[in-house]
Each structure stands twice: as C-alpha cells, then as structure tokens.
Amino acid sequence: MDTSIERIRAKISELEAKVADLRIAERELQALERLPAPKTRKTRVAAAPKAKPTPKAKAKRGPKAKGEPRSQTIGAAITEVLDKHGSVSAAEIAEHIKASGRDITNRTVSFALQALKKRGLAKNTDGKWSPPKARSK
C-alpha cells in the first residue's frame, strides 16, 4: 500500500511531465512565430523538427496570396446583416451569414454580438439585435 508521501511524489512526477510537455509546445509555437512569412511554396523555410504536434500549431493558417481577398471579420458580417435587415434575432443573423457561404455557429454570433454591444456598435431590445441609432451632430 502506498504511503501518503509516495502518492504525493507520484503526483509531483506526473505534474513535472505535464510541465515538460507544455514547455515543448511553447518552444514550438515560439519557433513558428519567429519564422518569416513565406512568399511562395518553393522558398518555404522548414520548421524545426517537432516531437509532438500541438493543436494550436495545426490551427494556424498560412498567408494568403496577393490577389486573394481577405475574409470578412465576424463583426463586420454581423454589422452588414444588421444594416441590411434591421432588427433581427441572433439565430436569424447566423442564418443570413451561413447563407452567404460562411461556416458559423449561433454561439459565435452571440459572442460577437456581445462584443459589438460593448463597443456600442449593436444594441439588444427584447431579444432582437439592431444597429445603434445614428448620432446627431
């Protein structure tokens, strides 16, 4: 039977292993951030060999080509829907954005609406979101 001290030492060694894995992931992310952005696929600089791929490293996207347009931000898409359709619910906003070809969830729209509300770019009245009133000069 393990004593309390042995269990504590085992737990410490588990935590030290986790910290070591996190430090490796941190070094990999820092190495990726330091690499210059590649101009073309042929001149791409290879990253340092990885011990274990991290989910955040996989999620990063490469740079876009010069002629390719940048995608619209979620906040800009929501503002555009509010300007076109006036007062609508968050679910309807998500439907309009999905209809334009963007993959988005109701949760994402809700978080973006709350951020827009904090910035004064959207207001909520009885569950319907609308653009704020135009300021008079």
DSSP string, 7-53: HHHHHHHHHHHHHHHHHHHHHHHHHHHHSPPPSSSTTPPPPPPPSS-
What pLDDT is stored for residue 44 in this prediction? Answer: 55
Residues of the domain holding 90: 74-130
Considering the entire predicted model, what is its pTM?
0.47
What pLDDT is stored for residue 56 in this prediction? Answer: 55
What pLDDT is stored for residue 2 in this prediction? Answer: 75
Do 80 and 125 fall into the same domain? yes
| Residue 48 in domain | no
| Residue 53 in domain | no
What pLDDT is stored for residue 13 in this prediction? Answer: 93
The two structure tokens encoding residue 137: 């000069």
Under 8 Å between Cβ of 77 and 94:
no
What pLDDT is stored for residue 51 in this prediction? Answer: 60
| Successive 10-residue mean pLDDT values, the chain, 137 residues | 86 93 89 70 58 54 56 84 87 89 87 89 87 66
How many domains does the chain contain in total?
Answer: 2
Do 87 and 126 fall into the same domain? yes
| Residue 56 in domain | no
| Residue 136 in domain | no
